[in-house]
Structure 1
């Protein structure tokens, strides 16, 4: 070129007498071009000694394999650990991860949906939240393979990586019952979530096995957030002291932490006056006072398995078997004791 600069795609288009898009179609083999025009473009490339900018082409094509990861929020350590597992598996394969946390911003789900749709993604890992929109999820299914993790979504026949929530809830409720508690209340998760339903079912199985009619046990539906546990503890413990529950089964650790916060503010001793259990086994709960009895589910391992399953689906391994739920593990610590007045 006369100015000493390397030729551009515009120069090729001008020399060949075609549009820039036509040059792009020829060079990337990405669109129909008449044979005569194709010949003129290739001749211009030869005459001008044009060399495509491979870095720019790579960016435009997103040649690096890329997956999307949708999480409700990252303030919950459980979701953060799942995300770590996904990133670990992706990094091992040289795959990029586009992270979206819909609840972090106003109108987040629709905005993040647009962001994901604007990317050339090979697949998506989806952690369902309480505000999940079936319409948004349906839109995302059109982008490529999707793997759900931690939740299952009614109406969607999608592969899911989950833990055995029902068994875990049953075992922690059995532990509370074996300590002698009969006046029990549940601080459950959001009504529409599969995990909340499974955990409530597990609690009820344990209650029924102990001869307690499950429908007589009050259930307070929470949001899985810490402040929800605080608010619902006030409701659950609002009656006369003789009628209050002696144990609260909390459907996740964050709400259990909220319960402990309420008890401290009201001078209620845990576990002497009230036993409290959670679910998830977040790293911080073994550092609390008292240390929280809870159910461990392997968040990071679930993230790794979800990513590896997605990679198999992306590779068109259509006969991938449905993964078995991860086992849960009861973690007995210091937040459960025999109720006062028990012999």
Structure 2
């Protein structure tokens, strides 16, 4: 039997060969609640096999009011925190007929614009967006206006969409308070990229703790980093040769803290005996580092699951959204912070 059109056979071809309605074939394919006699079901399945018919999974998903595909725009997966968020998103999609489309931007504004433009034209059911630049692109604004977008970890100015976050400010404040309680008063900060919401929140938390201890926040030097290990190493080159070297350095994320500590080891500067160091995120390497890194844990997997659940709820793919959108952080006190030298 020839198919009704050139190329692969259609559901109409199966119905014609089986001498049943298209609705009956659809009920067999989708295993829906519509009753189909056992003999008829087996006959339709034989016809499907004979024609080598492959159902259109996207069409089936939409017919069942399920999501077909979701995009995730993320700076990279080399940062274990971002990878945790991605794992959380995928775990929330495991019970849904859904394809996760991963787009890595390497924190490049042109790539963020490009992927937002591509996803806008691909008619995805929704997009989860984790910015690496903090800059809203024209295509992202258009994407947010015409479809379902959820921000996770980072929010962007001027775009009003749901946002899944962690309590960065209070976590950073608690971390700085611990450093101050150890007697440190000569401090330095390695911040993240300018314009990122997480960085501004963490800086604000540090400064609240400084002010509470009677230290003018503006008196603490802040070196601009980029959330990478290389950024931490580069900042170390400046901090470690200061005339009055800080006794404690607060890094805005774990990767920069790891880079800083490794550069200290190369220069034979002991942590924490000579200088204390902190991070933020609690990636797996933080606890394995020597010395183990004092940091702040934020639940990346839970944040990813919540972002996916919220997006699925907004597009009607599941009835309930996340129970929370603002996750608590946890101070992890380890060996990289000691008493003031």
Taking structure 1 as the reference length, the TM-score comes to 0.79
Q: Which has the larger radius of gyration?
A: 1
Q: What is the CA deviation profile of residues 136-184 of structure 1, one whole-angstrom value per residue up to 9, with x for unaligned ones?
A: 3213224511110001111111110000000000000000000000000
Matched positions, count: 296
Contact 2:134 2:156 in 1 (8 A): no
Gaps of 5+ in 1: 12-51
Alpha carbons of structure 1 residues 208 and 270: separation in structure 2 relative to 1, 3 Å: same
Question: 5 Å matches for 1:1-343?
Answer: 5-9=1-5, 55=54, 57-58=56-57, 63=62, 65-103=68-106, 108-130=111-133, 132-240=135-243, 243-315=244-316, 323-340=324-341
Q: What is the CA deviation profile of residues 94-137 of structure 1, one whole-angstrom value per residue up to 9, with x for unaligned ones?
A: 32211111229995334423432343311111011126442232
C-alpha displacement of 1:92: 2.0
3-state secondary structure, aligned to 2:94: helix
Quote the Cα distance in structure 2 between the aligned partners of 1:239 and 1:91: 52
3-state secondary structure, aligned to 1:306: helix
Quote the Cα distance in structure 1 between the aligned partners of 2:108 and 2:337: 38
Quote the Cα distance in structure 2 between the aligned partners of 1:267 and 1:238: 13
C-alpha displacement of 1:91: 1.0
Quote the Cα distance in structure 2 between the aligned partners of 1:317 and 1:56: 23
3-state secondary structure, aligned to 1:124: strand
Q: What is the CA deviation profile of residues 10-53 of structure 1, one whole-angstrom value per residue up to 9, with x for unaligned ones?
A: 69xxxxxxxxxxxxxxxxxxxxxxxxxxxxxxxxxxxxxxxx99
C-alpha displacement of 1:318: 11
Contact 2:191 2:222 in 1 (8 A): yes
Runs of 4+ in structure 1 off by over 4 angstroms are 56-64, 104-107, 316-324
Over the residues paired in the alignment, what is the CA RMSD in angstroms? Answer: 2.8
Contact 2:126 2:315 in 1 (8 A): yes
C-alpha displacement of 1:309: 0.5
Q: Out of 292-301 and 324-333, give the one that drifted further.
A: 324-333
Taking structure 2 as the reference length, the TM-score comes to 0.79
Quote the Cα distance in structure 1 between the aligned partners of 2:302 and 2:180: 30
Contact 2:279 2:293 in 1 (8 A): yes
